[in-house]
Structure 1
Amino acid sequence: MPKKAVELGALQVSRLKMPGRHAVGGVAGLHLWIKATGAKSWILRVLVGPVRKDIGLGGYPDVTLAGARDAARRARDQIVQGIDPVEQRKQARALLMAENATAKTFSQCAEAFINAKGDEWDNPKHRQQWTNTLKTYADPHIGELLVRDITLAHILEVLQPIWKTKTETATRVRGRIEAVLDWATVRGYRQGDNPARWKGHLEQLLPKPSKVSKVEHHAAVALDDMAGFWTQLKVANGNGARALELAILTAARSGEVRGARWPEFDLEAKLWTVPADRMKGKREHRVPLSRQAIELLKATPRVDGTDVVFPGVKGQSLSDMTLLKVMRTMGQEQVPHGFRSTFRDWAAERTNFPRDLAEMALAHVIESKVEAAYRRGDMFAKRLQMMQAWADFIETPATKGNVLPMARTG
């Protein structure tokens, strides 16, 4: 029969200094292990089935003598019940690691989502806008919450304070939260329905954005003021003014004009081809060039070292504020994008050109999939007539109510 170890007291244990194992009694197999470095820890030497194992019970003095004896007794009780304390501890550690791996906060998921999807966004500003809006409006409420714990109540806490006062921002925040939570679900960080979804869910609890916020259209120059504005713009100096001229003559978006490259133009064919990667709708757009647009381009000098038509100081594209600055310098409160609305109003109110023709000139996406499938051409010849009529209108003061007939094509 093995010799039973003398049961040491706390003071005696504290005086142990010799490296090696020291039986402390009280529970069979309980030892204080002292390393050569002087570090001390508790070890329970015990048989688990046919295998002798040393089970660590923690360091001394963080784990006291009494605590070590309690832990040793629990381990022995588990062995009697057929449980291997070592294997159970490994499983618990594995579960904890798995738990930690999936325990992600909303702010962590938002950052990971933006890093994963940000390359899909054409405009670098989108990344910053996503980051800023989520940090400003979502993080104070749900940023530190685990995504698996986010509920409808939390989403409402984010949205309700701004839904009626900052409706457009609130709708974007909702959509971005929904996207982040969808991503988190796919990654296995949460389960169940998305509490930020709109259809059949939040639409039942929040008023429709269109009902609580008036749509603010881009401020546009009135039709009868276009000739006066054009005369003023023609004498303005700088590439920004010339870029604004081309934007007006072609009814193009500011970004399309600011990014225009000389290889995109065929002046003999009266054609400007905007590549798909610079179009909002991601489809190549052929723009007819009026006589005035061609004269403008021919008079625009080419700058060495860049093929940008209207380069900035260092040869790069003009900033998105340049065209707006031109208008502010001219004392105008309208915005460059508003000229697309002016063009649309002109086509509808002062001409007989078909609505579809104007929509194609604006490069608007055809909402009807059936109509889009059947529309093969881009009516370039007819649109050239329309853009020439538009350029002529800009240069000539219009009389209210006058309607320009659409010329016949041969």
Structure 2
Amino acid sequence: MSKLTPKFVKDVDQPGSYQDGRGLILRVSATQRKSWVFRYMLAKKRHDLSLGKFPALSLRDARLEADKYRLDIARGTDPAAERAKLKATKASRTTTSQTFRASAERYIRTHSSSWSKKHHQQWQNSLTKHVYPCIGGFRIAEVDTDDVLDVLTPIWSKVPVTANRVRNRIELVLDAAKALRLRQGENPARWRGHLDKLLPKQSHTVVPFPSPAPSRTAELLAKLDSLDGSAARAVELAILSVTRNQEVSGAQWPEIDWEMKIWRIPPERMKAGKAHRIPLTDQMLDVLRQQLGKHDKWVFLNSWRTGPIPGNAMARVLDQLQVDGVVPHGFRSTFRTWAAEDTDHQREVCEMALAHTLNSKVEAAYNRGDLLDKRRVLMKDWGEYLAVNAPQVQGDVSVLSPAPDAESDQANVVPAA
């Protein structure tokens, strides 16, 4: 007679093995993960056959699975031996063109032309690290819910942002495979109505990028003038143009139009994969002129004269100034706060200055310009604010004033402690 109840199976959290009867066992691990095992004797030898994990496999379904294997045993079939044959068959097909990895690589080749270089690399890295070791060699037609859970469970609570992206990427690859008639049925990686019932709710804390107050940024900009080197000039340009770290560090001379006073960043260097024009103020042009003649391609040349400054060079400049609680990206938030609180510039002008995509799809569809002239006025006002509020700096570089509470227009999402 069965001993377990659905409520007990759901609530039990003490590690151990719990008998349901006739060989069906619920095992609870030290980490409170629950799995079903079917124990049977055949040819005077005991076998433990894994049936699946709870809650993906309910008590009722586990009993039905156990009944199926009991019938196989009665017919003289060894379930463990049959499963071993199935695994061997899967392993022997790892070189076929219908594996999950082959389908994922085909999906990346198909869509990568519309992606940024960074997005393309993120796809490659996440699949290589988290997905291929688990299911990369499985036939695409045979990938099921348990396989997807095997990928996601180890990282679901540990790195929630990455785990969500990995799940979405698996879902997209499987959808594409279904469109190519390489698999049938529902997508085992879909979230709503499926994995949302099988995976625990993620806990996360939003930690904003640290950013200084506008007046403190003006103070920092003045202190930067005391430092030599390409990285210091790059930080100055980042503050004045409110561009991202990688956009500044990788700046190239062919992108600078001196006559029109425009910096044209091509789509492959932009986060959103869309070309961006930046109106150059007199202050920005002064920074650029200081870099003339150092290299024919790179605006901010590294110390080895082999290419642009590395991505962490600007952060090292802030460390040299002994600036606590500030990162290069935070200046974008500083600018957005100043524009919203201290100016009358329109919201869409401020957002376009940051190369942000408009939230409203309808608004974006009708507003196809980049408001360059209006942004030129905005950036001029920003530069003048920084100049007017910059203190007179004399002597050696000193420590900046203590940082206020950090604010940001973009957040890092990290697991809660």
TM-score range, shorter chain: 0.5 to 0.7
Please give the TM-score of this superposition, normalised by the length of structure 2: 0.62
| Cα contact 2:152–2:163 (8 A) shared by 1 | yes
* AA at the equivalent of 1:236: L
- SS class of match (2:207): coil
Partners of 2:111 and 2:234 lie apart in 1 by: 32
Match of 1:254 among 245, 270, 280: 245
Q: Within the alignment, does 1:232 sit opposite 2:223 as a pair? A: yes
Match of 2:299 among 302, 306, 309: 309
Shift of 1:167: 0.7
Match of 1:266 in 2: 257
Q: Which has the higher contact order (CA 8 A, sep 6+)?
A: 2
Shift of 1:107: 4.3
Q: Within the alignment, does 1:358 sit opposite 2:358 as a pair? A: no
* AA at the equivalent of 2:345: F
Shift of 1:160: 3.0
Shift of 1:109: 4.2
Shift of 1:229: 1.5
Partners of 2:333 and 2:362 lie apart in 1 by: 26
Match of 1:320 among 293, 304, 311: 311
- Relative to structure 1, the CA distance from residue 258 to residue 160 in structure 2 (aligned partners, 3 Å threshold; closer, same or farther) is same
Partners of 2:144 and 2:191 lie apart in 1 by: 14
Partners of 1:228 and 1:100 lie apart in 2 by: 60
Shift of 1:358: 0.6
Match of 1:402 in 2: none
- Relative to structure 1, the CA distance from residue 368 to residue 117 in structure 2 (aligned partners, 3 Å threshold; closer, same or farther) is closer
Match of 2:117 in 1: 123
* AA at the equivalent of 1:373: A
| Cα contact 1:178–1:194 (8 A) shared by 2 | yes
Partners of 1:226 and 1:133 lie apart in 2 by: 36
Shift of 1:133: 2.9
Match of 1:106 in 2: 100
| Cα contact 1:226–1:397 (8 A) shared by 2 | no
* AA at the equivalent of 1:245: E
Matches within 5 A, 1:129-208: 129-206=122-199
| Cα contact 2:210–2:330 (8 A) shared by 1 | yes
Shift of 1:200: 4.4
Partners of 2:106 and 2:305 lie apart in 1 by: 34
Higher alpha-carbon deviation: 113-122 or 370-379: 113-122
Match of 1:374 among 366, 373, 383: 366
Match of 1:349 among 341, 349, 355: 341
CA RMSD in angstroms comes to 3.1
The total of aligned residue pairs comes to: 297
Shift of 1:242: 0.8
- SS class of match (1:383): helix
Partners of 2:370 and 2:113 lie apart in 1 by: 31
Shift of 1:187: 4.8
- SS class of match (2:206): coil
Question: Looking at CA atoms only, which structure, 1 or 2, has the larger radius of gyration?
Answer: 1
Partners of 1:135 and 1:112 lie apart in 2 by: 14
- Relative to structure 1, the CA distance from residue 269 to residue 138 in structure 2 (aligned partners, 3 Å threshold; closer, same or farther) is closer
